[in-house]
Amino acid sequence: MKTSLTAAVLAGPIVLALSACSQNKPNTEVLRPVRAVEVRYGNATETDRYAGTVRARHEVDQAFRVGGKVMQRLIEVGQTVHEGDVLAVLDDTDYRLAEEAARNQLIAAKAQAAQAESDRKRLESLKTDGSVSASDDEHAQSGAVRSQASADAETRQLELARNRLRYTVLRASQSGVVTAVRFEVGQVVAEGQAVVSISNENEPEIVVDVPEDNLAAFKTATFRASLASAPAEKFDVALRELAPQAAQQTRTYRARLKPVVARELPLGATASVIVEHPLGDSSTAEIPASSLTQSNGQPAVWVVHRTKTEPAGTVELTRVAVRGYRNDQVLIVGPAAGELVVTAGVQKMAPGLHVALAVAPPNATVAARTANTQVAEAAP
């Protein structure tokens, strides 16, 4: 019994000392991590999306310059050809006959011209002694001129016949890939009928159709594009050409955009063009839609209050007025310019809650949106 009393007496001061130590140790508050963006008025942008098609900048529809029956087809869709390659051949029987007839006409015209020139020279030599009249001499001279002109005309007719014979062979006017073939062997094609399309795949472009009400904004916008086969791989494009006149059937304006950095794009592929342009309204601010919450049924955001030297702060629920939605962005009016708005974990906020702040750059709303999920998952 005496031993127990002694132990209790000795243990008392130790317990009191430990209690004093625990009371003097400060409580460490765990700050909730959040991501925020700065409110900036006048920098709101609108984003539109257009579906387009990859086409070649230089695309040629080739046709025979004469009509006839197709005897040979030497190309297929997707085949690469070079300038001067033979694409197809027509039946040239009639054109060879026409060329032969023109040659014979030229021989006859030249013979007639030679005879007329000989007659002129003979009458000219007889004119000096008065054997022929001046009238006969004039007839001889005019006959020689007519015969020579006829011979020259027949020479041109022979050249035309030879050209038409040569046109029965269709050759590639440029190097590229065959994108369309509109004829078969045995088919009779008309003169000038488009039968083959050749595209230069070295200069691909994206073609979209722009409605009339978006035309003004489209001219001052910035563009990014992606292919349906690789939607996550976006690249910058620039407006190269905008049609000055609307298409008669669709009443839209055709726009052609080229990659800022040269790259290969498969012809005919489906593309998506992201168009961003400023709204021109200085009274609204653009923030990620994930920032929006409610206060008594009204839209609100969590604003972080802190000093410039502190990385932490407290949050306060502030009501806002929503002016519109732009995809995953929202246009608001309410918070003062420069205030910080929480973009992730808003469902776990409470008035006066201390938070650890990671501020996104003013122009990095996209980066803030991609980081929202990570921050929300990291929040306890």
Architecture of domain 32-44+282-378: Beta Barrel (2.40)
Closest CA to 181 of 105, 327, 289, 78: 78
Contact criterion met (CB below 8 Å) for 68 and 188: yes
What is the CATH topology of the domain spanning 62-92+168-198?
OB fold (Dihydrolipoamide Acetyltransferase, E2P) (2.40.50)
pLDDT of residue 374: 37
pLDDT digits (tens, 9 = 90+) for 264-308: 888 889 999 999 877 656 677 888 888 888 888 889 999 988 776
Q: What is the dihedral of CA 338, 339, 345, 350, to 10 degrees?
A: 180
> CA quadruple 237, 49, 301, 367: dihedral positive or negative?
negative
Contact criterion met (CB below 8 Å) for 277 and 45: yes
Strands 270-278 and 285-288: unpaired
Q: What is the mean pLDDT of residues 148-161?
A: 92
- Quick one: tokens of 181? 């073939």
Contact criterion met (CB below 8 Å) for 342 and 375: no
Instruction: Report d(CA 366, CA 291) in Å as an integer.
Output: 13
Q: What is the mean pLDDT of the chain?
A: 82
Strands 188-189 and 312-319: unpaired
Instruction: Report d(CA 120, CA 114) in Å as an integer.
Output: 10
Which residue has better confidence, 33 or 238?
Answer: 238
Q: Which helix (H) or strand (E) holds 22?
A: helix 2-24
Whether pLDDT at 375 is above 50: no
Contact criterion met (CB below 8 Å) for 32 and 353: yes
State pTM to two decimals. 0.56
pLDDT of residue 8: 41
Instruction: Report d(CA 60, CA 43) in Å as an integer.
Output: 44
pLDDT of residue 255: 94
Per-domain residue ranges for the chain?
A: 32-44+282-378, 48-57+200-277, 62-92+168-198, 93-164
According to CATH, the superfamily of the domain at 48-57+200-277 is Efflux pump adaptor protein, beta barrel domain (2.40.30.170)
Instruction: Report d(CA 69, CA 49) in Å as an integer.
Output: 47
Q: Which class is domain 93-164?
A: mainly alpha
